[in-house]
């Protein structure tokens, strides 16, 4: 099954929100151009994120990250969504990732992830690849914007789904 649907109103809101945050990060980084890289290294981070929820994705959740060094991070996105009403259901999303960050005032990165999504008694597993920008506001706080450019999911029912352009924005506190 090929799923290429994009909810235009959600995508427009996400792109507008990301554009405003990107401009703020670029302005902040331009003013701080003299300082050295403030990307975390050897630190754990906790954060919150929102994403353009299409299909069964949760609209947001928490993120946990370990910065191996200034260029490599491993972590996971985690979300739980409980819907009540006429048909109650629970969605659990776990998305471990590896991120390689390039050097720069606004740090571009590439990211690969594994997606485990459990909903309605079934579990789907997938892989994704994308990239984005990390804007270190301080040595302890980073704002991230990323987009999954390509994703493949193997569904519980035996199907294969392809997805494009899932947009996330979030902030992480490193300690």
DSSP three-state, residue 82: strand
Rg (CA), the chain: 17
71: which DSSP letter?
A: S
67, 73 contact by CB (below 8 A): yes
* CA–CA distance, 59 with 54 (Å, rounded to integer): 8
Q: pLDDT for 30-72, tens place per residue?
A: 444 434 457 888 999 999 999 886 655 678 899 999 999 989 9
Q: Which of 119, 124, 111 is nearest to 170 (CA)?
A: 111
**Domain topology for 8-30+41-174:** Porin (2.40.160)
Q: Is the pLDDT of residue 154 over 80?
A: yes
Domains in the chain: boundaries: 8-30+41-174
Burial 19-48 (b: 16+ CB within 10 A, else e): eebbeebeebbeeeeeeeebbbeebebebe
| pTM, full prediction | 0.75
**What is the band of 24 on the pLDDT scale with cuts at 50, 70, 90?**
low
């Amino acid at each position: 099954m090929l799923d290429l649907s994009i909810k235009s109103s959600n995508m427009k809101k996400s792109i507008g929100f990301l554009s405003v945050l990107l401009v703020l990060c670029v302005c902040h980084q331009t003013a701080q151009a003299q300082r050295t890289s403030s990307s975390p290294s050897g630190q754990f981070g906790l954060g919150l994120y929102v994403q353009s929820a299409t299909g069964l994705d949760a609209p947001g959740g928490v993120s946990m990250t370990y910065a191996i060094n200034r260029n490599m991070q491993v972590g996971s996105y985690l979300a739980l969504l409980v819907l009540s009403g006429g048909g109650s259901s629970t969605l659990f999303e776990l998305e471990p990732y590896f991120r390689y960050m390039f050097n720069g005032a606004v740090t571009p990165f590439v990211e690969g992830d594994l997606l485990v999504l459990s909903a309605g008694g079934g579990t789907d597993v997938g892989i994704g690849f994308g990239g984005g920008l990390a804007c270190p506001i301080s040595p302890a706080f980073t704002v991230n914007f990323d987009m999954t450019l390509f994703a493949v999911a193997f569904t519980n029912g035996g199907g294969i789904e392809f997805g494009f352009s899932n947009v996330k924005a979030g902030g992480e506190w490193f300690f």
